[in-house]
Structure 1
Amino acid sequence: MDISLARVLICLVAGIAVIVLLTAKWRVHAFFALAIACFLVGLGVGMPLTDVLTSVKDGFGNILKSLGFIIVVGTTLGVILEHSGATRVMANAILKRVGEKRSALAMSLTGFIVGLPIFCDSGYIVLSGLNKSLARTTGISMVIIAVSLATGLYAVHCLIPPHPGAAAAAGIIGVDYGKLILTGIGVAIPAMAVGYLWANYAGKKVPIVIADDEQIIVANTQLPSTLKAFLPVAVPILLIAIKSFFSVEHNTVNPFVNIFNSLGDPIIALAIGVLLAFNCLHTWDKETIGKLLQEGVEKAGSILVIIGAGGAFGAVLAATKIGNHLSDALPLASMGIFFPFLITFVLKTAQGSSTVAIITAASIVLPLLPSLGLDNEKGHLLCVLAMGAGSMMISHANDAYFWVIAKFSGLEMKTMLKVYSVATICMGITSFIIVYLLSFIL
């Protein structure tokens, strides 16, 4: 099937436009938006309907094969930590160490740590009550504390598995999860720092605001100890780090190494985190455990169908040979990691969801990796990190997380745009600069 570049590009733009319009304007679930885009692009370039269906099913199945367990177990871990009150314990422990005078920094660090297993919107809702308490007792502007927490959560959400966007991009592009987590943490730390610094700078120019009280319900009335609260987050990261260290040495004979290679698999490591998280619960009655596991699976289900649809979209794009067309027509080799960053940034700004943006971008970039000079292990890692940086910016009125922050902090739209939205721009640019510097080091 000989297809012209113009026809492929028109169909691609039409597909992206459909995703943006359906998700951002008409609030259609991203799964259906991506599914419709699959058929629009496939049929638009002249693929037979049966071939489109085959590509859709293969793409959907392949991505879930590599990501399904990670997303379910990771989501369940976050749900248990949220309901057990472990997130509150971690926040209070960090605040005690940092001090109330630097409570904004404490909330930024809390967001970063709590955000490793918990989605940014859930983490913000759970910790928003602490935000208000600190604003009252310290006299620090609610804007500063709120945006510090929000950007700390946001930094890891965009860059690190098991968060769905980064995890899906890793599955589509083909990146080792352990290396992505460890390198992503290194990129997310400067992003968090920039978000905190901007919140302090811009927030001082905004009048102090104290939001109305919102009661945050924690299922567990007796909070866990600090050690119990941190272990479900620290142990999986440590196990994954040990596995990445041993994998460098390619030693598969030593049984000790083999044990840690098994325990450091993201699925096993996160499952251990889930067991440790159960230890944060005061009671282990079957009704509570059943509800938490059910909530974790249900929450993961919505994410999995979006990721699966993203994989299907990528398979259809690959079948159109878009990579060959664009590599012949554009100087992609000179763009390198800037191209995945740019396309993810445009998609994020247009339709609001970081997850949809990075999944869609990964599907577009995959066939272009050889032309971009990124068709190797190092290139794949840098590509996913660059897309994570692009998915940070710009968070504004079409982003659900934007409204979560505004609602639970009592901040006006104008204030959110001036402080939080600009912070996401600073974070995205900073993250990309770090990724660019890593391209000379790794």
Structure 2
Amino acid sequence: MAALVIGIATIIVIVLRTRLDAFVALLVAALVTGFVAGAPVTDVLESITNGFGTTLGSIGIVIGLGVGLGKILEVSGGADALARAFVRALGRGREPWAMGTTGAVVSIPVFCDSGFVIMNPLARSIARVKRAGYVTLALSLGCGMTLTHHLVPPTPGPLGVAGILEADLGALVLAGLVFAVVLLPVVIGYARWIGPKLEKDLDPEVREAVYGSVTAGTAGTGGAATGGAEAGTAAAGEGRDPAYDPAAALGEPPAGAKPHRIRAGLASLPLLVPLLLIVANTVVTAVDKNAQGDLAGEDYTPSAVAGVLAFVGSPVVALLIGIVLAVYVLLPRWTTRSQVGGWLSEAAASAGLIILITGAGGALGQVLRDTGVGDELAEAISSWSLPGVLVPFLIASLVRVAQGSGTVAMITAASVTAPLVAGLGISPLLAALACCAGSMVFSYFNDSYFWVVTRFTGLDGVAALRGWSGITTAVWLGSLPLLLIASTLL
């Protein structure tokens, strides 16, 4: 128990009090945990390398492909097209729902930070026409992204959790989507309640940027404000900041080529096809096992259809299909190989640290298994009156508050929980959901996404805490009864 406490404390101290990052913190914590538990040095090092390699062997490729897919959606303008389609579909008066839903969909393949930057001009355009409601729209957008970023693969954090806990990825996609859909009204309700109260606290420069160009009498009419037809289309849900071009990275088309435009249906293909393949694999395999009377899968031989889906529905192949679709369907013909290579290189660079953190989390989990720390913790927790599902949930929550990163929090919780799943009497899927949900709590100063949302929204100090920290805590609280209900079903 002392080894576990000191190990987690090591992560917190290194991340908060030194210039080292979470990757180093997790590796040092694995070493410290092994040493305090009394394991030989060679055994600790072997556990670290085995845990690191095993985890990345199952999930590292998928993280890299998922981030690459998100980058192509971003530079092609596909993510922006999806956003505008959702706004049009939901109509006037439902703009917060449109922004929250948009955020939730876009954030499945795109990191929250870049996704919010991409979509925030749309929120500003809508607020400029309405002459009100920017804070509500920005919070709805930002927290909609938080839901799927924390709950739905192929976002890297949930992918890492699934790999560490050996949870079925397709089942986690389905369960995470259900959680996100049920929690979205919490996002919209809180944003609508707190947004109007915080409008007076907007930074003057942001207020001028959002509302300063609107002339009297144009709000909600679809008429032109300063900037002409751009504001009129915003009223219909199509507006965007005139200084913002989501596909600027593509460059100017060659002479004679048509301007590059992406329709929402086309933009959704690279996202929907992999998700549908992964989910179809899970469903068909379960049905096939049931038909054979071999639910445990001990002597399972897949049927022809199940075998094909097991291949194309594996996360690696499904995301390979998605990224090929993105490159050849979303990008214009004049895009060069060097451009695509550059974007994928940028994506790989951004994914690199996430992959390393995921592997280090797996290393810590392996040390906990091999040293018996996990078994000891399971015995201690089993003597408490806590439902088993609350253990990973609370671990993720404490780590999130301590060091800020939701990804690190859920991966750390998964690493600690992995040896305990059987003793806690919960399924790997339920444990994964608990890790992911617990990591949403109270985003504040030590979370990089806190600064992205509050700076772009123009909130500071107490207003930022009431708005952004409050809404992330609201969805965290909302997930708790969902987990308790899920614990009776999964």
- Taking structure 1 as the reference length, what is the TM-score of the superposition? 0.92
Secondary structure, aligned partner of 1:411: coil
- For the residues of structure 2 that align with 1:440 and 1:301, how far apart are their CA atoms? 38
Alpha-carbon shift at residue 178 of structure 1 (Å): 0.7
Q: 2:330 aligns with which of 274, 280, 299?
A: 280
- For the residues of structure 2 that align with 1:127 and 1:437, how far apart are their CA atoms? 34
Pick which of 195-204 and 234-243 moved more. Answer: 234-243
1:13-69 C-alpha deviation (Å, 9 max, x unpaired) = 222222122223435221111111111221222222211111111111010011011
- Residue correspondence of structure 1 range 55-70 to structure 2 within 5 A: 55-70=47-62
**Structure 1 equivalent of residue 456 of structure 2:** 408
- For the residues of structure 2 that align with 1:322 and 1:253, how far apart are their CA atoms? 38
Partner amino acid, structure 2, of 1:410: G
Pick which of 34-43 and 61-70 moved more. Answer: 34-43
| Inter-CA distance 102–160: structure 2 relative to 1 (3 Å threshold) | same
Indicate whether 1:269 and 2:318 are aligned: yes
Secondary structure, aligned partner of 2:24: helix
Indicate whether 1:224 and 2:262 are aligned: yes
Secondary structure, aligned partner of 1:140: coil
- The 8 Å contact of residues 61 and 308 in structure 1, kept in 2 or not, is answered as yes
| Inter-CA distance 27–417: structure 2 relative to 1 (3 Å threshold) | farther
- For the residues of structure 2 that align with 1:269 and 1:149, how far apart are their CA atoms? 28
- For the residues of structure 2 that align with 1:332 and 1:111, how far apart are their CA atoms? 39
**Structure 2 equivalent of residue 5 of structure 1:** none
Alpha-carbon shift at residue 315 of structure 1 (Å): 1.2
- Residue correspondence of structure 1 range 327-342 to structure 2 within 5 A: 327-330=378-381, 331=383, 334-342=386-394
| Inter-CA distance 295–274: structure 2 relative to 1 (3 Å threshold) | same
Indicate whether 1:235 and 2:287 are aligned: no
Alpha-carbon shift at residue 229 of structure 1 (Å): 0.9
For structure 2, the residue ranges without an aligned partner over 5 or more in a row are 211-240, 252-259, 290-300
Pick which of 78-87 and 283-292 moved more. Answer: 283-292
- The 8 Å contact of residues 85 and 220 in structure 1, kept in 2 or not, is answered as no
Partner amino acid, structure 2, of 1:339: V
Partner amino acid, structure 2, of 1:277: A
For structure 1, the residue ranges without an aligned partner over 5 or more in a row are 1-8
**Structure 2 equivalent of residue 4 of structure 1:** none
- For the residues of structure 2 that align with 1:30 and 1:132, how far apart are their CA atoms? 34
- The 8 Å contact of residues 332 and 371 in structure 1, kept in 2 or not, is answered as no
1:185-238 C-alpha deviation (Å, 9 max, x unpaired) = 001112222112101111121225445489555313623122211111111122
- Residue correspondence of structure 1 range 343-358 to structure 2 within 5 A: 343-358=395-410
**Structure 1 equivalent of residue 424 of structure 2:** 372
| Inter-CA distance 329–109: structure 2 relative to 1 (3 Å threshold) | closer
Alpha-carbon shift at residue 260 of structure 1 (Å): 2.6
- Residue correspondence of structure 1 range 64-83 to structure 2 within 5 A: 64-83=56-75
- Taking structure 2 as the reference length, what is the TM-score of the superposition? 0.84
Partner amino acid, structure 2, of 1:268: V
| Inter-CA distance 253–316: structure 2 relative to 1 (3 Å threshold) | closer
- Residue correspondence of structure 1 range 184-263 to structure 2 within 5 A: 184-207=176-199, 209=202, 210=206, 212=209, 216=244, 218=247, 219-220=249-250, 222-250=260-288, 254-263=303-312
Q: Look at both structures and tell me which one has the larger radius of gyration over its CA atoms.
A: 2
Indicate whether 1:35 and 2:20 are aligned: no
Alpha-carbon shift at residue 152 of structure 1 (Å): 0.6
The number of equivalent residue pairs is: 430
Identity %: 37
Q: 2:474 aligns with which of 426, 431, 434?
A: 426
Q: Which structure is higher in helix share? A: 1
Indicate whether 1:383 and 2:413 are aligned: no
| Inter-CA distance 216–21: structure 2 relative to 1 (3 Å threshold) | farther
| Inter-CA distance 441–324: structure 2 relative to 1 (3 Å threshold) | closer
- The 8 Å contact of residues 105 and 148 in structure 1, kept in 2 or not, is answered as yes
Partner amino acid, structure 2, of 1:244: T
Alpha-carbon shift at residue 250 of structure 1 (Å): 2.1
Secondary structure, aligned partner of 1:16: helix
Q: Which of structure 1's runs of 4+ aligned residues deviate more than 6 A?
A: none
- The 8 Å contact of residues 242 and 260 in structure 1, kept in 2 or not, is answered as yes
Partner amino acid, structure 2, of 1:220: L
Pick which of 150-159 and 188-197 moved more. Answer: 188-197
- For the residues of structure 1 that align with 2:269 and 2:20, how far apart are their CA atoms? 38
